Amino acid sequence: MKTRNRLALASLTASTALAVAFLVPTTASAHGTLSDPASRVYTCKQEGPENPKSEACKAAVAAGGTQAFYDWNEVSLLDAGGRHREIIPDGKLCSAGRDKYRGLDLQRADWPAKRISAGSLTVTYHASAPHSNSNFEFYLTRQGWSPTQPLRWSDLVHLQTFNNQNPTTFTNWTLNIPQRTGRHIIYSIWQRVVGSAEAFYTCSDVDFGGGVTPPPTTTSNPTPTTTTTPPPVGGTWAAGTTYQTGNRVTYNGLGYECVQAHTAIAGWEPPNTPALWKRV
Amino acid sequence: MRIFLLLLAFVVSGCTPDTTLRGDPLDVMFLQMMIPHHEQGVAMVALAEDRASSADLRMLAAAIESTQATEIGTMKSWLTSWGEPLTAPPDSHAGHGDMRRTNPSEISRLQGLRGFEFDQRLLNVLIAHQDDAVQMARWQSGSGAHQEVKSLAERIERSRVAQIELMKRFLDQV
């Protein structure tokens, strides 16, 4: 019924583009990140995605590629709608749980950090596409947290929230920063309120001084587990199996023949992929 | 209210509501954004055949190329059947440059690479590219109107998530 109303309304509007602009929640018209203290993505973007200078940005690019840093203003989830703690797993807060941004989750003590101290701190949000009516939440890691540990939701201490904000390209807020020692993270969530459920997430490294310099981070590369799937002899279609052209399977009681070699994955079930399977 | 609106729609268009109601604006926007995104993906994976050193990566890239080409055909046929343009009008949100897409210069960067370096770069770029597709698909399947479009979005979400897992495994082996 809701859909019909929307459609009926749309058909009344002279211009579909206009209708889209007003009736449809847009996917991605707001974009941005914290520029001061600079978020990790902003820092590496400023250093240059292809030739980053700091060891941390070099490692982040090595771990996850450069694209994340070209898209520095999109560390976001389109369907967040306030469910941040539900949909972003512990340890992946800086990437918002997105594989594209996995380099931002690296647990290192050498992320470029702004030197700050307790008291008032002005922070700046750089919105390349600002959007009205948004809520901005700010957090600081708890005393005792270390950047060589995963960042978990329970590590965050709420500082302040600014509701119903209308950000411009550069928006400042003043935070009251409590006492800490050593390295910490200022975490922010920009939740859009009107027209979209999209939310943006930022991790900015800060240093209060007085911390112990931890030993250099040693990254252990887990030995890749090579799973070789035995070639199928007929049988039921199964994700993870590599099929060659001419292999036959059954799926939901129907027979299919592989027309292009591939490793089967969820979403590529035979009835959905005429490019890979034909009915026999 | 609903009856009033449907009646108005009927009067304005002069046909029955079911044939009047063409593309849902949200479905249309999703398809108009997804088609160029898919095309960009196809252009990138097509480079693997001559350049990738890993046979597994070449096989995956070829399968992505043909499955996405089929999806492009399906998406275009829906827009055409609704009488909607295949590309978003330049003044719409989707035409604003807001759309998630891979840096266009990436294609030329990839073209210049071979072997191990190509594999690593393509895998990283493609993980990011398909991660964007997952975002758009999740958004559509939560808000779209046509069941067939939602089903496609759900399949896009599942297959891209699985592709990313596969590609992260390949990266570990590069």
Q: pLDDT at position A213, please?
A: 61
Indicate whether A157 and A85 sit together in one domain: yes
Indicate whether A246 and A202 sit together in one domain: no
Indicate whether A45 and A159 sit together in one domain: yes
Is A146 in contact with A183 (CB distance < 8 Å)?
Answer: yes
Q: pLDDT at position A222, please?
A: 53
Q: pLDDT at position B144, please?
A: 85
Q: pLDDT at position A21, please?
A: 37
Rounded distance between C-alpha atoms, residue A13 and residue A20, angstroms: 10
Q: What is the dihedral of CA A273, A276, A277, A278, to 10 degrees?
A: 100
Residue A217 within any structural domain of the chain:
no
Indicate whether A165 and A63 sit together in one domain: yes
Q: Is B99 in contact with A129 (Cβ distance < 8 A)?
A: no
By Cβ distance, the residue of B5, B9, B29 closest to A20 is B29
φ and ψ at A48, to 5 degrees? 105, 115
Domain count, chain A: 2
One-letter amino acid for residue B116 of the chain? F
Rounded distance between C-alpha atoms, residue A52 and residue A178, angstroms: 32
Indicate whether A266 and A154 sit together in one domain: no
By Cβ distance, the residue of B128, B135, B162 closest to A267 is B162
Indicate whether A190 and A249 sit together in one domain: no
Sign of the Cα torsion A102, A108, A111, A114 reads positive
Indicate whether A195 and A247 sit together in one domain: no
Count of CB atoms within 10 A of residue A196's CB?
Answer: 24
Rounded distance between C-alpha atoms, residue A267 and residue A272, angstroms: 7
ipTM value, please give it: 0.84
CA distances (Å), origin A141, targets A24, A187, A207: 37, 8, 12
Indicate whether A166 and A35 sit together in one domain: yes
For A237-260, the DSSP string reads --TT-EE-TT-EEEETTEEEEESS
By Cβ distance, the residue of B28, B89, B142 closest to A79 is B142
| CATH 3.40.1010.10 describes domain B23-173 | no
Indicate whether A108 and A186 sit together in one domain: yes
Is B86 in contact with B79 (CB distance < 8 Å)?
Answer: yes
pLDDT in tens, chain A (280 residues): 344 333 333 333 333 333 333 334 444 456 899 999 999 999 999 999 999 999 999 999 999 999 999 999 999 999 999 999 999 999 999 999 999 999 999 999 999 999 999 999 999 999 987 677 899 999 999 999 999 999 999 999 999 999 999 988 999 999 999 999 999 999 999 999 988 899 999 999 999 998 776 555 555 555 555 555 555 556 999 999 999 999 999 999 999 999 999 999 999 999 999 999 999 9
Domain boundary among A187, A207, A227: A207
**Cβ-proximal residues to A26 (8 Å cutoff; 6+ apart), any chain:** A195, A196, B93, B98
What CATH number did the domain enclosing A259 receive? 2.10.10.20
Q: Is B158 in contact with A129 (Cβ distance < 8 A)?
A: no
Interface of B with A in 139-168 (CB under 8 A): 139, 142-143, 145, 155-164, 166, 168
One-letter amino acid for residue A261 of the chain? A
Give me the domain span that covers residue A196: 29-207
Residue A136 within any structural domain of the chain:
yes
Does the CB of B69 have a partner CB in chain A at under 8 Å? yes
Entry pTM: 0.85
Sign of the Cα torsion A88, A60, B41, A74 reads positive
CA distances (Å), origin A162, targets A21, A128, A201: 26, 19, 15
Indicate whether A203 and A269 sit together in one domain: no
Rounded distance between C-alpha atoms, residue A29 and residue B100, angstroms: 10
Indicate whether A201 and A117 sit together in one domain: yes
Indicate whether A270 and A199 sit together in one domain: no
Rounded distance between C-alpha atoms, residue B131 and residue A83, angstroms: 19
Helix B115-143 vs helix B55-81: crossing angle, to nearest 10: 30
Beta partners for residue A191, in sequence order: A135, A199
What CATH number did the domain enclosing A41 receive? 2.70.50.50
Flag residues of chain B having pLDDT under 70.
1-21, 91-100
**Cβ-proximal residues to B88 (8 Å cutoff; 6+ apart), any chain:** B29, B32, B33, B94, B95
Give the minimum alpha-carbon distance from B34 to chain A in angstroms, rounded to a whole number: 12
Is A276 in contact with A262 (CB distance < 8 Å)?
Answer: yes
